[in-house]
């Protein structure tokens, strides 16, 4: 078996993604390879989307998702859009069905280049998010950072979009908070036995929210698709917005917008936004040793022209 596989460096609103083509193989991208790739500034990433052969009928691929610390992620909406763009260019198709550990995801590329991903149904039950103690109402739980009588952050809405999320509502610029300091403390708080994604959300209008996210296993990130979904759902759930919300991702450069719809008819969350190809190369999935294609501007992975 060839020791290297094709991969592409991509991004979704600045969310740094490596799409690794593991089709036709039985091995996986190792945590050691992920850590090594993230340690190199050229391949530093938020998530690896390792595309494997389908495991069940009716799907196009199984996607194994790794965080930059080598841990597993259950869902990554921005990364899924990157996979769709790559496969659409390769195959000429525009609709795909993927399997992840979080479930089945349907996705479609539109004529304008944006991509919609059905992220599934939100989960609000405390033991399924999961939380380490029971909360009857997870739209607002007891958790805070700072002095008891004047907390800096408090009373988040918590839920799962395939992975755990805590949304802290703030009334000023999300970039004015020291999320780099608070993020690790909240991600690893004992209330979250599987850790959590931590998002600051400022409601601008009944149809718009601005967010900034500390991502579980990745740290400060320019964008997080599942966090945008969690913020939109939580905003609607708590009466702050309607069910169709424009999420402005403040940390993206330049700030970008994701359109999120929490459909009333079937309770599913659909995220629409862009993806961007940067360059391609080859990588050893066991070690993370990589090389860039001689013509990195060409949108291709190996012999499959994209």
What is the pTM (predicted TM-score) of this model?
A: 0.89
Domains of the chain in start order, with CATH, are: 5-118+275-305 (3.10.310.10), 144-267 (3.10.310.10)
Query: 301, 21 in Cβ contact below 8 A?
Result: yes
E strand or H helix at 120, and its extent?
Answer: none
Give CA–CA dist 113/170, Å, rounded. 33
For the chain (306 residues), the mean pLDDT of every run of 10, in chain order, is 90 91 96 97 96 97 95 89 94 95 92 95 97 97 92 96 96 95 96 97 97 91 89 98 94 82 97 94 97 69 46
pLDDT value at position 52?
Answer: 97
- The pair of structure tokens assigned to 55 is 């495991």
76 carries an active-site annotation: yes
Query: What are the strands, taking DSSP E only, across 170-228?
Result: 197-205, 208-215, 219-221
pLDDT value at position 302?
Answer: 46
Half-sphere exposure of 166 (CA within 13 A, CB side): 32
Give CA–CA dist 203/195, Å, rounded. 25
Catalytic residue, candidates 34, 159, 224, 270: 224
- CA–CA distances in Å: residue 256 to residues 65, 209, 275: 23, 12, 11
Q: Provide the greatest CA pair distance for the chain.
A: 62
Catalytic residue, candidates 37, 51, 66, 76: 76
Quickly tell me which residue has 């499959």 as its tokens. Answer: 304
Q: Which of 197, 265, 207 is nearest to 232 (CA)?
A: 207
Q: Residue 184's Cα: distance from chain center in Å?
A: 17
Half-sphere exposure of 1 (CA within 13 A, CB side): 12
Q: Which of 28, 37, 32 is nearest to 8 (CA)?
A: 37
DSSP 27: -
Show Cβ contacts of residue 105 under 8 Å, excluding neighbours closer than 6 positions.
Answer: 75, 80, 97, 98, 99, 117, 118, 119, 120
Paired residues of 158 in beta bridges = 166
* CA dihedral sign, ordered 6, 70, 212, 51: positive
Q: CA triplet 217, 184, 199: central angle to 5 degrees? A: 80
224 carries an active-site annotation: yes
């Amino acid at each position: 078996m060839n020791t290297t596989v094709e991969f592409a460096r991509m991004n979704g609103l600045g969310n740094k993604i490596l799409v690794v083509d593991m089709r036709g193989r039985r091995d996986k991208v190792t945590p050691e390879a992920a850590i090594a790739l993230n340690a190199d500034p050229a391949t530093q990433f938020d998530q690896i989307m390792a595309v494997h052969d389908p495991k069940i009928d009716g799907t196009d691929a199984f996607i194994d998702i790794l965080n930059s610390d080598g841990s597993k992620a259950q869902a990554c909406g921005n990364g899924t859009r990157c996979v769709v763009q790559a496969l659409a260019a390769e195959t000429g198709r525009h609709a795909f069905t993927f399997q992840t550990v979080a479930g089945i995801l349907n996705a479609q590329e539109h004529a304008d280049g944006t991509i919609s991903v059905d992220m599934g149904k939100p989960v609000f039950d405390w033991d399924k998010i999961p939380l380490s103690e029971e909360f009857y109402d997870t739209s607002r739980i007891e958790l805070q950072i700072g002095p008891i009588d004047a907390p800096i952050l408090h009373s988040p809405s918590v839920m799962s979009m395939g992975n755990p999320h805590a949304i802290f509502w703030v009334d000023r610029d999300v970039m004015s908070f020291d999320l780099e300091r608070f993020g690790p403390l909240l991600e690893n708080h004992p209330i979250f036995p599987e850790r959590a994604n931590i998002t600051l959300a400022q409601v601008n209008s009944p149809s718009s929210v601005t967010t900034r996210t500390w991502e579980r296993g990745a740290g400060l990130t320019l964008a997080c698709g599942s966090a945008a979904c969690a913020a939109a759902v939580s905003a609607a759930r708590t009466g702050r917005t309607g069910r169709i919300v424009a999420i402005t991702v403040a940390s993206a450069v330049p700030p970008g917008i994701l359109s999120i719809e929490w459909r009333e008819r079937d309770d599913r969350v659909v995220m629409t936004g862009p993806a961007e190809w940067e360059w391609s190369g080859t990588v050893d999935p066991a070690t993370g040793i990589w090389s860039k294609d001689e013509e990195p501007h060409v949108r291709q992975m190996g012999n499959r022209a994209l």
